[in-house]
Structure 1
Amino acid sequence: MKVYHASLKEAQADAGVLAVQGPSPFERLDWLALLCEMCLAPAKPRVSVASNGTQVAALPWMEAHGGAEALANWYNFIARPLGDAVLLSEITRSLPVGRASFAPMPEEDARQLADALRRTGWVAISEPCDSNHVLPVKDRSFAQYWSARPGALRETVRRKGRKGEVALRIVTEFSPTDWDAYEAVYKLSWKPGEGSPDFLRRWAEMDGAAGRLRLGIAEIGGQPVAAQFWTVEGGTAFIHKLAHDERFRKQSPGTLLSAAMFEHVIDRDGVSLVDFGTGDDPYKRDWMEDVRTRWRVRAWRKTAVRHWPTMVRALARYKLQPLVSPNRDG
């Protein structure tokens, strides 16, 4: 058994680790490297790796607040271990910290990580931390999916689309001009200031070069008034960013653009799932059909005395929480 704790750069040079990358941006080392370079402290990311010669497990994390935390920020839909779950215990046994926190995690991954931590001498708790709205396409065409949407939504698209005021286009290759249009709309939207616009641009460039980008733009009189940043990967369409100019709200350009984006990824890309990320915004329920719970795993080494006060407080709060029966993740 080989276990080592590497920098992100070292992990990217390990063919075994590259082979267990997952089918989403958040499970690719190149995406994590870009996130670290532009949004996180570049010196802090780590990847812990265990290999028995045939199977590999890898746990991306970063040093933060005196412990290990998920290699993630608000751009991540998920944070999870990679590769063989059986080998996770080899990683948690030698993890060079006394405290750990990982979120947002799919339920099964959270359970496996918490079990591995407990087996190797940690005190670990797993608790719900967020919601994830998704659409399982179930081999439907867009027309079949659309017929099941709320009547008010379908009527809005019918009426506003019939007027012909809003021109829609979806691009799959990165263009500085198109991305400038996206950024211009975002600045005029109801959204708060973007955390790292330079990171988003680099991400769009990277995924455009790989054929994963789906950038939607709505225009009125040649002026961009709504924009959406999606990517498609591993049979899933990921909805990352939506924005529209509030001055044109009556024309519903964002709603018209969303309908066009769903049609594109369902009928042209043939995705099996559309993922709206974390957050329980009410409008997501008009477009999506399932809600999955995302989880946080927190753990403390029993021998890490300096973390005992935090551990005791967390355990006390955990025991006072009501029981939760979340939806099962896929």
Structure 2
Amino acid sequence: MQGNGELRANDEAGLPADARAGAPASPFERAAWFDLLAAHGFAGEARVDAYGEAGAVTAWLPLRRDHAGQLSGLTNWYSFAIRPLFVGEGDRAAALRALFAKLKKRGRRLTLYPVPDAAQADVASAMRAAGWWVKAVPAGDRHWLDLKGMSHDDWWEGRPGALKNTVKRKAKKGVVDIQLLTEYDPGSWAAYESIYAASWKPEEGDPALLRAFAETESRRGTFRMGIARIEGIPVAAQFWTVEDGTAFIHKLAHVEDSLKASPGTLLSAALFRHVIEVDQVARVDFGTGNDGYKKDWMNRHEPLWRLEAFNPAHIAAWGPAIKAFARSKLGRE
């Protein structure tokens, strides 16, 4: 089946809201997310939406132009993933090949990160079929929980003994009060921001973007937030969303001098119980990063991939490609 592709600036066409990656829906795979990134200055020199069509199916890939000849996935540090989205049914592989063939006419280098493990082989294959030199390397981690029909109690029984004992002992003391919210509240969000500012975390990357995202998710009914207080003072907060059977853990923070009471651990336990028992999710996604504590809560781990693609039609791409591949054979990693 023959495919064709297009490359359009965002003011000509944007991603439709119903585009899907062929996996459970994610807040980072909707038109509104990419619009938000662009509105907050994360589109580099320009936002570019790449399209490829094959029959009734269209592949879409939101990109940014970093500088002349170089494109990257439209992401920032809040993003869990970047991968092609699709509208319609048909030969997705052909649509992807068409997309990347069109991109060859517009750029000499393309970088995608973080690409989910389930998508990287198909994406890299389509790039190579379109004539790109491609280097795919694992460059990050994702921890997630696959409940596989388990109840909350079934899952909790399998957690490490130290974690279960901590939750039992600290909850029994009654020092920490837990509040769970399903709607955005300015006062509660301000409490989160104050906790984050007093936490061990680095300075928040873009608090205005995150706040706008939280407000949007509240309007969609996906917003979940927990705040832990000791003697009325907020000491820990977490921001989650729930969508299409998956809970996404976006942000968490706690005040350092509250650690003895384990407010963050108690808050996590309460939110896990809520999304499993009330929202009845089948999966909990802890996002990017390989922090050791995530293993206590999750039962699955997978790599995230960086795809570096070089266009051999541009001599300027040869040097960076040789450097990236070093001694490995072009296009085979």
Alignment equivalent of 2:100, drawn from 65, 81, 92? 92
The separation in 2 between residues aligned to 1:150 and 1:262, in whole angstroms, is 15
Find out whether 1:196 has 2:206 as its counterpart.
Answer: yes
Find out whether 1:264 has 2:267 as its counterpart.
Answer: no
Find out whether 1:31 has 2:33 as its counterpart.
Answer: yes
Partner AA of 2:71 in structure 1: A
Indicate conservation of the 8 Å contact 1:215/1:227, yes or no. Answer: yes
Residue 53 of structure 2 aligns with which residue? 51
Residue 89 of structure 2 aligns with which residue? none
Residue 239 of structure 1 aligns with which residue? 249
Residue 326 of structure 1 aligns with which residue? none
Indicate conservation of the 8 Å contact 1:8/1:33, yes or no. Answer: no
CA distance 1:108–1:253, shift in 2 (3 Å): closer
Cα distance, 1:50 vs structure 2:
2.1
Indicate conservation of the 8 Å contact 1:21/1:29, yes or no. Answer: no
Query: Which aligned pairs between 1:6-85 and structure 2 lie closer than 5 A?
Result: 6-12=8-14, 17-22=16-21, 23-41=25-43, 44-65=46-67, 66-83=69-86, 84-85=92-93
Residues 136-159 of structure 1 deviation map (CA, whole Å, 9 limit, x = unaligned) = 011112111111111111111111
Residue 139 of structure 1 aligns with which residue? 149
Cα distance, 1:308 vs structure 2:
1.0
Indicate conservation of the 8 Å contact 2:52/2:98, yes or no. Answer: yes
Partner SS state of residue 11, structure 1: coil
Indicate conservation of the 8 Å contact 1:237/1:275, yes or no. Answer: yes
Partner SS state of residue 249, structure 1: helix
CA distance 1:243–1:39, shift in 2 (3 Å): farther
Find out whether 1:122 has 2:132 as its counterpart.
Answer: yes
Cα distance, 1:302 vs structure 2:
0.9
Q: CA RMSD in A?
A: 1.8
Q: Which deviates more from structure 2 when the two are superposed, residues 45-54 or residues 149-158? A: 45-54
Cα distance, 1:228 vs structure 2:
0.2
Cα distance, 1:10 vs structure 2:
3.5
The separation in 1 between residues aligned to 2:5 and 2:259, in whole angstroms, is 55
CA distance 1:29–1:292, shift in 2 (3 Å): same
Cα distance, 1:168 vs structure 2:
0.4
The separation in 2 between residues aligned to 1:85 and 1:165, in whole angstroms, is 55
Residue 109 of structure 1 aligns with which residue? 119
Partner AA of 2:73 in structure 1: A
Residues 145-200 of structure 1 deviation map (CA, whole Å, 9 limit, x = unaligned) = 11111111111111110111111011111110110011011111110100001111
Cα distance, 1:288 vs structure 2:
0.6
Report % sequence identity: 43
Partner SS state of residue 12, structure 2: helix
Partner SS state of residue 310, structure 2: strand
Residue 227 of structure 1 aligns with which residue? 237
Indicate conservation of the 8 Å contact 1:39/1:199, yes or no. Answer: no
Q: TM-score scaled to structure 1, two decimals?
A: 0.92
Q: Which deviates more from structure 2 when the two are superposed, residues 100-109 or residues 248-257? A: 100-109
Unaligned 5+ segments in structure 1 are 324-330
Indicate conservation of the 8 Å contact 1:57/1:85, yes or no. Answer: no
Q: TM-score scaled to structure 2, two decimals?
A: 0.91
The separation in 1 between residues aligned to 2:327 and 2:205, in whole angstroms, is 31
The separation in 1 between residues aligned to 2:252 and 2:328, in whole angstroms, is 35
Partner SS state of residue 10, structure 1: coil
